[in-house]
Structure 1
């Protein structure tokens, strides 16, 4: 199993709110949710702190509890992150820092995957077809975009809304997760939404992204999205640039 990845902050942003951790048989990609300007999150920490804590906790779980399910490991990582600041921060605040989670792991003859919120995984099958695991619940909140802050508060980590890694370990069990036979997979691509805008905004296909990662490496996807962003196209409510992360796994 070979893992390569690249992550980059949005141009002009001093810190990256994406995060990647990897081991010999696993990789996890996280995308922290940028806090709206002027909103009190109830937390003295920023989003990079959250993704670093959550990533480190998840890496420990993946490294030491290889026989347990990915939802159990993600839930444990959320609990450990909560414990790191429960005494200093209000974890009941609906605007507390949060993150997506995407995990891929080989465990014996199986490849396990988990996607929590909008950091998808594409599995390239041995026959050349793709299986895309995409938790798109944030695209289907009531009323359509742009979403109000109040709507996001009411829908976050609620049935009928969307689930994300914040201060609710049960969110891990709402993730899209499963396993496939390792012999049926030749590659996998994990992305944050700073890269998936290549498809969502600019009309490119998953197959193109997977082929590019396999041939030129995941860093080329970030360079590609930056070139597209220079054209200025995209939804009026969205940031022109975002942190971008891509991880490519091959067997």
Structure 2
């Protein structure tokens, strides 16, 4: 597969709490959950957790490419938890992250989401499949105590952090790769183009395919700056991450095809 990606911190913050990592076979996007300010039993920050969990996810996908994605995420959570043994893994407010994964395996595209990240797949017939976890949008209350009480429990919502069982609650699907035209993994800092600003997913896919993932972030920032004060709930800006993929092998490096009438502007790569 060919995968390109970008990640940009919110203009309002110094640290990017999103994380993205990819190879020719998979992409992983994480969005660190904003610290609630409640005691969390951990000396590490949200960005630390997102980066370590993303790196461990990639390591598991490389080492065990046949592992089912929920099992891979569970193992990554366990491995990340071992990196800070002096912190309290039982604290419900411990640093956590949303997760989106797309992985090529045996002619299929396996996809996973946990919490409010999204994987968007457009098929060759034009249809769009959106895998997203909206449980966080259906909570009865959003004050920090209620969110803490409902995190990683039945009837609440699930995020990846210190609790391995959260991986079992991830949403997954598997689609034939031959029928896929393109796909996109995004944190909610990019999906707000659709959820808040009225874009369609095909519009986002078209923009990213033509101009690259950074174009989606630019579009988000433009829309965010245009919002009147008091017209929105939550943060004006958010960290924004996108990974865009298409099936098929990447071009072989160093191979340049000559066509009659071509004028070379740089030397051949051997």
Q: How would you bin the TM-score normalised by the shorter chain?
A: over 0.9
Question: Is the counterpart of residue 231 in structure 1 residue 229 in structure 2?
Answer: no
Cα distance in 1, alignment partners of residues 231 and 245 from structure 2:
31
**Aligned-partner Cα distance in 1 for 2:146–2:161:** 17
Q: Rg larger in 1 or in 2?
A: 2
Count of aligned pairs between the two proteins: 246
Task: Name the residue aligned to 2:158.
Answer: 163
Q: Look up the match of 1:71.
A: 70
> 1:23, 1:63 within 8 Å by CA — same for their partners in 2?
no
In 2: Cα distance, 1:126 partner to 1:194 partner: 27
- Alpha-carbon separation, structure 1, partners of 2:203 and 2:233: 26
CA distance in 2, matches of 1:199, 1:152: 24
Q: Which residue of 1 aligns with 2:198?
A: 203
> Mean alpha-carbon deviation: is it higher for 58-67 or for 152-161?
152-161
Q: Deviations over 1:155-192 (max 9, x none)?
A: 11111111110111111111111211111111111110
In 1: Cα distance, 2:73 partner to 2:102 partner:
12
Alignment partner of 1:183: what SS? helix
Matches within 5 A, 1:88-167: 88-143=86-141, 147-167=142-162
Cα distance between partner residues in 2 of 1:240 and 1:19: 20
> Match of 1:83?
82
The gaps in structure 1 that reach 5 residues or longer are none
Q: Is the 8 A contact 1:44 1:89 kept in 2?
A: yes
Partner secondary structure for residue 84 of structure 1: coil
1:220 corresponds to 2:220: no
Whole-Å separation in 2 of the counterparts to 1:32 and 1:19:
8
Supply the distance in 2 between the matched residues of 1:209 and 1:241 (Cα, whole angstroms).
18
| Cα displacement string for residues 2-41 of structure 1 (whole angstroms, at most 9, x for unaligned residues) | 00001000013111000001112000000000102x4222
| TM-score relative to the length of structure 2 | 0.88
* Whole-Å separation in 2 of the counterparts to 1:183 and 1:9: 35
What is the 5 A alignment of 1:1-16? Answer: 1-16=1-16
Residues 69-78 or 178-187, more deviating: 178-187
Would you say 1:44 and 2:43 are equivalent positions? Answer: yes
